[in-house]
Amino acid sequence: MKSNYKAIGEYIRLVDERNLGLKVTTLLGLSIAKEYIPSVANTIGSDMENYKIIRKNQFACSLMQVRRDKKIPVALLRDFEEAIISQAYPVFEIIEEDVLLPEYLMMWFSRSEFDREACFYAVGGVRGSLEWEDFCNMQLPVPTLEKQKEIVAEYNTIVNRIKLNEQLNQKLEETAQAIYKQWFVDFEFPDENGKPYKSSGGEMVESELGEIPSGWKVKSFTKAIKLGSGGTPSTEIPDYWNGEIPFYTPGDLNEHNYCITTAKHITDFGLQKCSSKLYRKNTSFVTARGATVGGVGLAGIPMAMNQTCYAVNSTHSNDYYAHQLTKHTISKLKNEAIGATFEALVTKDFDSQLVLEPDKGNEDRFEERVSIFYQLSLVKIKENQMLFELKDFLLSKMTKAEVSICL
């Protein structure tokens, strides 16, 4: 081990402060993504005084099932001055912050190499846990405080830019949804004089869905759009995975609900032995089964998909409109499933949904209006892909305590 590596245990100490008097009420959980989340634990009948208090710049971790999960859930509390957390989690703090910065240590915990090393030390079979002593014996490089600050500053610059892009994309998606609702739910699309159609006295007619603009039609979802299916490639062909076609699976659904999903983290391969067709850019992919059932992503480039998804394309090549129509329809399906388990989507679910087919002129105008939002969103997602790679590169350079990235 290099001379500048030290055992983590030399710099940290356990903290065991209980919530006596129930003074702290914010209950947090710990995710495998190394983040604090609102706790979903059933606390009815629990003695909340036995929960541990965690304060700003302190850490909590879970050393259980490390080998199974291949990660140590560990996080630094930054967004709260104090909170409470399960008594099952060790809480610890840095002894001297003028020697080791909490943010620098959290960066080290964020490295994939750290998780792999922890798995190596984990014991106890498939659900192997890591002993606290072994955790403390794991080592890290500790450069000067000035160097740590430099590394943390570079890292935070990247992370903050990623967050800004994510926030922008969320706003872009919300704007597109708001315009869709205004035009195709509230029927306040611009009339020939540029005024809101319905409130300006536009002609309305009765239909199975109530009053709708004159000239619009009511159809089943599967008649209003093109619904396609996917397939799974054969893994028996050695050179099969050397192709150039990205393949979409439910696991690739963007966790931040972007209006565009690209091929990040998707294995590329050829389609010579795959039953899935190649779908064009801006095809909507709907997850049909699994934990993300009902999730809707939009292909940032031409790609195929597996058999647990549906593909949605517009009959008029207005794929942004089809994307919003799909999200609106899935939302209705989920609302109708209240009280039941929403575990899967089949074709008859889409057949049962009546939707409006507007006149092509309004559909075209909507497509033109929202295209700038989608195009900017795709740019920001591609930028974040590069930023994530840059972040990982910076974490990998910590072994030598080197940082020389200019942004």
Angle in degrees, 0-180, between the axes of helices 360-396 and 145-184, rounded to the nearest 10 = 170
What was the pLDDT predicted at 387? 95
Residue 149 is assigned to a structural domain of this protein: no
Residue 60 is assigned to a structural domain of this protein: yes
Residue 380 is assigned to a structural domain of this protein: no
Structure token pair of residue 90 = 């060790």
Which residues of the chain are under the pLDDT cut of 70? 1-3, 124-127, 232-245, 254-276, 338-342, 401-407
Residue 199 is assigned to a structural domain of this protein: yes
Residue 255 is assigned to a structural domain of this protein: yes
- Residue type for position 127: R
Nearest by Cα to 251 from 200, 287, 204, 208: 287
Please tell me whether residues 114 and 210 are part of one structural domain. Answer: no
Residue 381 is assigned to a structural domain of this protein: no
List of residues 6+ apart from 31 with CB closer than 8 A: 37, 73, 75
Please tell me whether residues 71 and 203 are part of one structural domain. Answer: no
Nearest by Cα to 288 from 336, 330, 234: 330
What was the pLDDT predicted at 95? 97
Please tell me whether residues 349 and 208 are part of one structural domain. Answer: yes
What was the pLDDT predicted at 126? 56
What was the pLDDT predicted at 381? 87
Please tell me whether residues 97 and 245 are part of one structural domain. Answer: no
Last residue of a domain, one of 142, 172, 199: 142
Please tell me whether residues 217 and 322 are part of one structural domain. Answer: yes
Domain total of the chain: 2
CA distance 330 to 284: 12
Dihedral, CA atoms, 187, 191, 194, 200, nearest 10 degrees?
Answer: -70
**CATH number of residue 279's parent domain:** 3.90.220.20
Please tell me whether residues 194 and 338 are part of one structural domain. Answer: yes
CA distance 2 to 7: 12
Is 277 within 8 Å of 336 (Cβ atoms)? no
In total, the chain counts a number of residues equal to 407
CB-facing half-sphere around the CA of 1: CA atoms within 13 A: 10
Last residue of a domain, one of 104, 127, 142: 142
Residue 153 is assigned to a structural domain of this protein: no
Tell me how far CA of residue 162 lies from CA of 29, 42, 76, 252, 337, in angstroms. 24, 34, 19, 18, 35
Please tell me whether residues 208 and 352 are part of one structural domain. Answer: yes
Domain residues for the domain of 318 are: 190-359
Q: Scanning the structure block, which residue is given the tokens 């992919």?
A: 285
Residue 94 is assigned to a structural domain of this protein: yes
- Residue type for position 109: F
Please tell me whether residues 88 and 237 are part of one structural domain. Answer: no
Please tell me whether residues 213 and 333 are part of one structural domain. Answer: yes
Structure token pair of residue 41 = 């634990």
Please tell me whether residues 35 and 115 are part of one structural domain. Answer: yes
pTM above 0.75, yes or no: yes
Please tell me whether residues 22 and 114 are part of one structural domain. Answer: yes
Please tell me whether residues 259 and 123 are part of one structural domain. Answer: no
